[in-house]
C-alpha cells in the first residue's frame, strides 16, 4: 500500500459552508481508484490569513485522526475535533489500550464465564444517563436485575457508577473498545 508523507494544503474557498462534505464526496469518488494507496484528509475550519498557521495544524491533526478510520479514503473535518474523539486520538495507542483493558477486561472475563451481559448493561446504563427505569426498560429486565448487574460491575472494577468521574472513565473506555 502506498504512503504519502504528512502534507498540509491550505484551501480558501469562496464559500466554506460545506467544505468537509465536498472533500468527503471527492475522496469517496476517488476511492475506487485507490487500489494500493490510502488517502487521508484533514479539513480545518475557515481562518483569516493571520490564523493560517493554526488552521494548518488543525488540518494536520484532523488528518492524523483520519488515519485511524477504515477504508481507502477517510476525511475528518474540524467539526469532529471538538469532542472526546479529539482527546482520545491524542493519547498514545498503548496508553489507550491499557486504560480500556483495566476498566473493561474484568467485565468481559466475567461475561464470558457467567453470560451476565455486564458490558452491554454498562453501555445501556450510560446511554440512559444512569436512569434505572429507562435502562431496565431498554434492556427488558427488572430494575432489581439491573441494580444487581450494576453492583456487580462496581464490585469487579472498584468503580462507583454514581460518580461522574467513573461514568466518564467507563464511557471513554467503551468508546475505545
Tell me what the pLDDT averaged over the chain comes to: 85
Mean pLDDT of the 107-129 span: 97
CATH number assigned to the domain comprising residue 148: 1.10.10.2840
User: Which one has a higher pLDDT value, 130 or 70?
Assistant: 130
pLDDT at 104: 97
Mean pLDDT of the 28-48 span: 82
Whether pLDDT at 41 is above 50: yes
Minimal CA–CA distance to 58: which of 99, 19, 3, 14?
A: 19
Q: Do 44 and 98 belong together in one domain?
A: no
User: Which one has a higher pLDDT value, 50 or 147?
Assistant: 147
59 within domain boundaries: yes
pLDDT at 5: 46
Q: Do 109 and 159 belong together in one domain?
A: yes
Q: Do 111 and 139 belong together in one domain?
A: yes
Split into its structural domains, the chain has a count of 2
Q: Do 40 and 53 belong together in one domain?
A: yes
User: Which one has a higher pLDDT value, 120 or 15?
Assistant: 120
Mean pLDDT of the 63-86 span: 79
Q: Do 138 and 65 belong together in one domain?
A: no
Q: Do 136 and 155 belong together in one domain?
A: yes
23 within domain boundaries: yes
Minimal CA–CA distance to 75: which of 87, 67, 83, 84?
A: 67
Q: Which domain holds residue 157?
A: 93-176
Amino acid at each position: 500500500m502506498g504512503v504519502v508523507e504528512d502534507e498540509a494544503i491550505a484551501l480558501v474557498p469562496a464559500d466554506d459552508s460545506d467544505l468537509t462534505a465536498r472533500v468527503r464526496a471527492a475522496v469517496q469518488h476517488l476511492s475506487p481508484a485507490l487500489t494500493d494507496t490510502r488517502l487521508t484528509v484533514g479539513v480545518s475550519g475557515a481562518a483569516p490569513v493571520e490564523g493560517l498557521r493554526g488552521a494548518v495544524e488543525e488540518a494536520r491533526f484532523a488528518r492524523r485522526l483520519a488515519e485511524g478510520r477504515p477504508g481507502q479514503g477517510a476525511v475528518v473535518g474540524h467539526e469532529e475535533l471538538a469532542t472526546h474523539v479529539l482527546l482520545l486520538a491524542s493519547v498514545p495507542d498503548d496508553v489507550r489500550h491499557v486504560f480500556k483493558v483495566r476498566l473493561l477486561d474484568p467485565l468481559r472475563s466475567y461475561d464470558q464465564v457467567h453470560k451476565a451481559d455486564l458490558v452491554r448493561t454498562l453501555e445501556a446504563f450510560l446511554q440512559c444517563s444512569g436512569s434505572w427505569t429507562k435502562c431496565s426498560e431498554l434492556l427488558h429486565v427488572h430494575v432489581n436485575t439491573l441494580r444487581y448487574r450494576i453492583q456487580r460491575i462496581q464490585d469487579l472494577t472498584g468503580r462507583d457508577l454514581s460518580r461522574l468521574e467513573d461514568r466518564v472513565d467507563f464511557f471513554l473506555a467503551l468508546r475505545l473498545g
